[in-house]
Structure 1
Amino acid sequence: MLVEQLSPDQPACDFCIVGSGPVGMALALELDELGQEILLLESGGSDLDSKIADASRAQIVDQRRHADMSLTVCRALGGTSWTWGGRCVAYNDADFAARNFVPDAAWPITHDTIRPWYATASKYLLCGNDHFNIPYTRALTGGLTMDSVERWATTPRLIEIHRDALIRSQRIKISLRSTVVGLYVNEDGSWVESLEVATPAGPRTVKARNFILALGGVETSRFLLSIQQKNPRLFGGIDGPLGRYYMGHLSGKIATLQLRNPESVSDLDFHLDDGAWYRRRLMLTDETQLNNKLLNAVFWADNPAFYDPSHRSPVLSATFLAIAFPPTGRRLLSEAIRLAHTGPRPYKIAAHLRNAILGAPGGAVDLYRVLRDRFLAKPRKPGFIVPNKGGSYALHYHAEQAPNPLSRITLTAEKDAFGMPRASIDMRYSCQDVDSVLESHRLLDQALRANQIGQLVYWNSPEETRAWVEENAGDGFHQIGGVRMGTDPSTSVVDPDLNVHGLSNLSIASSAVFPSGSQANSTLLAVALAMRLAHRLANSTSRP
């Protein structure tokens, strides 16, 4: 239920969750199912508000490497589900294997520890069942697999579906416009006594048996760093692990996937399963990755860039024209995805109009099918591929960034409207990241040829290709690391159960705890870990 405002003598609760994004709302709903009393604190209101969003504005050291925080953080009930694309991807066993070529990527838990929680996470993320490996129709050799699938939320804006359950619950109390600005520990520093919360009615104190921060990657690091400024011995000490190993992914296109059989593109298109869409991806097997000392990577077939009219596709040009007009485009796509598809200015409007007109009427029929499936169907198709007789498609890669202690989040002297120091984000990519992307492409090309599926055709020379991957390495949406998981308090912030080292009743539910980034978008695993955390804490009888 929504509470008007926190009272000055706010009673203690079982659980206080800070942040109502995909992880925070799933946590609250699952703890509710387990019979717990929850106070859910959200800095924003019921809807997006640019004034409140300004509190997340950060200094980005290299603008090429990290998206603006206005695109990656949402302070409102539902958090980043307001702009989430809906992609749900599981990690691979190789991510949890001993990889001496990525020494800082070791997980203190196994994939089998997490795997049972994918089903519950999938329920809250609305992506159907937890089948993230569906055997391909034929056996493949040469280190290639097409068994791995990504699943898609039927309604990516999760708050639209979960809002009623959150508000109807008698055990979940939601306090909006409640920004946590302080954390206080007991005398011996073994547990959290209370949080200080800024509200429109003034400061409030919140006490709970358990506190869980579900603030997202950057904001979790930022908040804990601000607390560490006042209490330097916390979280591994000044210049310890907190804020370090901040990661994302490398993503882009450098080659064409030329299929031997043009009709086989249907294998790489979207299909329905258990009421939700899924798509197969091209991957190198775990064994191939480990034997070749490669970081994880995944590939999928994609359309040419919408914004380049040289594709001569009436469907792609008509789509471009629709999304290039901001009022229309923002209704169809999140702003970050819209900007990626519209590309750099100046827009070549005349050329796109020519494609759309010359492609009629056949193009109109194809466009209708795309619009119907993408924007009118239930569930809405998350994307589309425009088939072509030549079997040529852009190949999209999405690759792991190796953990790097110098890639980090720190604090600036500037403060936001709540008096909290703003974050400085110094995201750094390495030669290993780029080398792995290029070698993964080379081995994928070999495997495609060996299986008579097709081949890769690079768009540029090897030197130009490498330069492109280096220049375009950047993220900011997946926000991995900074509060990493481990067994040693000198190199990690939380233990394998997501408890902050040394503070028995403070836990972190966020992709910030991941020691490595895999090839996968972070939302599914973050929610799965949160489900494991919810059950462990609900079953615990210990009190501070």
Structure 2
Amino acid sequence: MIADGLDGIECLGNHVCVVGAGPIGLALATRLAAGGERVLLLESGGTSADSKVQALAAADIVEPFRHDDMMVATSRQMGGTSNLWGARVLPYDPIDFEHRSWIGATWPIEYDDISPYFADAVAATASGAPVYSEPAPIELSARDGSFDATPLERWGNIQAAQHIHAAAIADSPNLIVRTHVTVTGTEFAEDGRLAALKLADSRSGATTRLPVKMVVLAAGGLETTRLLLAAQREAPARFGGMDGPLGRYYMGHVVGEISRIVFNEPAVAKNFDFRVDSHGSYVRRRIAPSGATQCEHKLLNCAFWPVVPQIGHAEHDSAILSMIWMVMRLGPVARLLIAEKLRLANLTPEDSPLWHHALNLVRGAPSAVLFGVDFLRKRYDKKTRMPGIFVRNPSGRYGLSYHSEQLPNPDSRVQLTSDCDRLGLPRLSIDLRFLPEDANSVVRTHVLLEQWLAKAKIARLDYTCPPTERAATVLAQARHGAHQIGIARMGTNSHEAVVDRDLFTFDCANLAVASTAVLPTSGQANPTMTGIMLGLRLADRLLRGTALSINTSKVNRGL
């Protein structure tokens, strides 16, 4: 059931309170409710976007060219950032959970601890089945196993999480959703337990106090960490102390292009088309180094896939790509077709003038029209949702996109400023930093991939810059902000981590965090799927009471 505002909310403190109705918060809350637990789910926004409410997330970004604007990185409405994303879902790899001495961070759990939640996480993302690899076709196979083309990324058939969980939201007798309710602070008891949440109506600013028995913060990586930092400001020893892990080790991914891939046989590119597999959702093939290769060369995890040339450069002479570029310039229309982050990434100051694209479109209008009609049909299919475009060409030449792990760095961090939003919560200062080692790993992985492609006679790489400039080019392109990893990470003690293996904050028995912020490493995969699996795991522990019983036995320190 959904209700709006603060009326009568003070009477709901005996429920498990989940803060944030994004993909992870909704998956956790609906699982708890299905298991018989009474749940109060608080959402700062409403059922649609509201610029006044979204402005509460405004932050001071130290280097704006490094970090996405908060209008793209966060979304205060039902469904959270699932309203903004492209719905690419895949889990972390087994190697991400293994001890890797060159990474500088370890996991307190193993891959097998979350693998039982694959199927339910797939259901929570409407992405078909937990199948993330398939045999490579003969033309992409090689005896040398240092790389392989078996990995698959999956795409959700339904983008927004609130639509996936619509039935549970509307019908569950155990779930109450309150919209336009913002958490502005916390109150702790003398024994260190969380006693109450300070709440405000997101529109009017009216306030109240909610006594709580159990709270799970699932408000997205940045906003969850913001609430924890505000609680720490009131008690500096809390959550590992002011010099501890909270707000540090901020990671996203290292993303960009420094080369073009040219297939020896242009027809090979068809293996990288977006397609619906036998499990009923779109998938796409990727190329990745094996775990053995990563260990041998001490690489960061990384994945590659071919992409169309830069659509803004009309020299591609493609009517289809020029049509897409022209549509992307129409913000309100383009946002219906593509994630805003991707739309902005495809519009650059170096783009060709409009007349050049118009000329391409005139020359190839029939093919562009046919493509457009087919794309819209597949995009708005009732069962599957085409997630993107990959336009093949006769030359077999494409951009090669990389999506690489970012190292945990204590100087990459978020902190509170002295300024507050209009409801009184201190704003964030965001300082996302990339290390030379991040770029060097990307370059070294390209070299090894180039060797594998050549040895297997699959393709060659044509670099866009000389060897001496490649690392600098990777760093120049490095920019993120949507994945929000590491800033409230999980671990074995409060000196190195904010939450334990069950996602409970150290020293506070009734406060847990369900967010990508708890992931101690970033891997090559988008983090939402793994975050959902951890959230489902937490829900099961709450339903069994095991997490709470474990944490109540802990000694309270500094609270």
Residue 176 of structure 1, aligned match among 171, 176, 179: 179
Q: Which amino acid aligns with 2:531?
A: A
Aligned-pair CA distance for 1:363: 4.1
Match of 2:160 in 1: 157
Where 1:206 maps in the other structure, the secondary structure is strand
Q: Which amino acid aligns with 1:316?
A: L
Residue 421 of structure 2, aligned match among 390, 405, 416: 416
Residue 267 of structure 1, aligned match among 244, 265, 271: 271
**Separation in structure 1 between the aligned mates of residue 519 and residue 74 of structure 2, nearest angstrom:** 19
* Structure 1 range deviating more: 368-377 or 318-327: 368-377
Deviations 1:374-427 (A, max 9, x none): 455741211121111111111110011100001001111111011111000111
Q: Unaligned regions of 5+ residues in structure 1, if any? A: none
Task: Tell whether the 8 Å contact from 2:89 to 2:155 is kept in structure 1 after alignment.
Answer: yes
Where 1:251 maps in the other structure, the secondary structure is strand
Deviations 1:215-254 (A, max 9, x none): 1111111111111111122101122111010110111111
Match of 2:81 in 1: 80
Match of 2:124 in 1: 124
Which runs of structure 2 are paired with 1:463-542 in the superposition (5 Å)?
463-540=468-545
Match of 1:32 in 2: 33
TM-score by length of 2: 0.94
Deviations 1:90-120 (A, max 9, x none): 11122112211112x2111111111111211
Q: Which amino acid aligns with 2:265?
A: N
* Structure 1 range deviating more: 456-465 or 250-259: 456-465
Residue 222 of structure 2, aligned match among 218, 221, 224: 218
Aligned-pair CA distance for 1:428: 0.8
Aligned-pair CA distance for 1:134: 2.1
| Residue 144 of structure 1 pairs with residue 147 of structure 2 | yes
Deviations 1:2-28 (A, max 9, x none): 234342642333310000011111111
Task: Tell whether the 8 Å contact from 1:248 to 1:477 is kept in structure 2 after alignment.
Answer: yes
Aligned-pair CA distance for 1:466: 2.5
* Structure 1 range deviating more: 162-171 or 497-506: 162-171
Match of 1:50 in 2: 51
**Separation in structure 1 between the aligned mates of residue 382 and residue 455 of structure 2, nearest angstrom:** 38
Which runs of structure 2 are paired with 1:275-424 in the superposition (5 Å)?
275-344=280-349, 348-375=353-380, 378-424=383-429
Aligned-pair CA distance for 1:271: 2.1
Match of 1:69 in 2: 70
Match of 2:450 in 1: 445
- RMSD (Å), alpha carbons: 1.7
Task: Tell whether the 8 Å contact from 1:6 to 1:204 is kept in structure 2 after alignment.
Answer: no
Deviations 1:270-322 (A, max 9, x none): 22121100111000101001110000110001101111101111111111111
Where 1:412 maps in the other structure, the secondary structure is strand
Which runs of structure 2 are paired with 1:424-463 in the superposition (5 Å)?
424-463=429-468
Q: Which amino acid aligns with 1:205?
A: R
Task: Tell whether the 8 Å contact from 1:194 to 1:207 is kept in structure 2 after alignment.
Answer: yes
Q: Which amino acid aligns with 1:233?
A: A
| Residue 247 of structure 1 pairs with residue 251 of structure 2 | yes
Aligned-pair CA distance for 1:343: 2.4
**Separation in structure 2 between the aligned mates of residue 361 and residue 238 of structure 1, nearest angstrom:** 62
Q: Which amino acid aligns with 1:267?
A: N
Aligned-pair CA distance for 1:347: 5.5
Task: Tell whether the 8 Å contact from 1:413 to 1:421 is kept in structure 2 after alignment.
Answer: yes
Match of 1:16 in 2: 17
Are the structure 2 counterparts of residues 8 and 69 from structure 1 closer, same or farther at C-alpha, using a change threshold of 3 Å? closer
Q: Which amino acid aligns with 1:240?
A: G
**Separation in structure 1 between the aligned mates of residue 292 and residue 68 of structure 2, nearest angstrom:** 33
Match of 1:209 in 2: 213
**Separation in structure 2 between the aligned mates of residue 343 and residue 201 of structure 1, nearest angstrom:** 39
**Separation in structure 1 between the aligned mates of residue 376 and residue 235 of structure 2, nearest angstrom:** 55
Q: Unaligned regions of 5+ residues in structure 2, if any? A: 553-559
Aligned-pair CA distance for 1:186: 1.9
Residue 194 of structure 1, aligned match among 173, 176, 196: 196
Q: Which amino acid aligns with 1:496?
A: R
* Structure 1 range deviating more: 210-219 or 335-344: 335-344
Where 2:430 maps in the other structure, the secondary structure is strand
**Separation in structure 2 between the aligned mates of residue 8 and residue 442 of structure 1, nearest angstrom:** 58
Task: Tell whether the 8 Å contact from 1:374 to 1:384 is kept in structure 2 after alignment.
Answer: no
**Separation in structure 2 between the aligned mates of residue 287 and residue 107 of structure 1, nearest angstrom:** 19
Aligned-pair CA distance for 1:335: 2.1
Are the structure 2 counterparts of residues 449 and 374 from structure 1 closer, same or farther at C-alpha, using a change threshold of 3 Å? farther
Match of 2:555 in 1: none
Q: Which amino acid aligns with 2:176?
A: K
**Separation in structure 1 between the aligned mates of residue 407 and residue 176 of structure 2, nearest angstrom:** 40
Aligned-pair CA distance for 1:370: 3.4
Q: Which amino acid aligns with 2:512?
A: S
**When the two structures are aligned, how many residues end up with a matched partner?**
542
Where 1:175 maps in the other structure, the secondary structure is strand
**Separation in structure 1 between the aligned mates of residue 198 and residue 541 of structure 2, nearest angstrom:** 26
**Separation in structure 2 between the aligned mates of residue 395 and residue 78 of structure 1, nearest angstrom:** 32
Q: Which amino acid aligns with 1:157?
A: A
Task: Tell whether the 8 Å contact from 2:89 to 2:528 is kept in structure 1 after alignment.
Answer: yes
| Residue 60 of structure 1 pairs with residue 65 of structure 2 | no
Q: Which amino acid aligns with 1:212?
A: V
* Structure 1 range deviating more: 178-187 or 9-18: 9-18
Task: Tell whether the 8 Å contact from 2:250 to 2:409 is kept in structure 1 after alignment.
Answer: yes
Aligned-pair CA distance for 1:154: 0.6
Deviations 1:248-268 (A, max 9, x none): 011111111111121111211
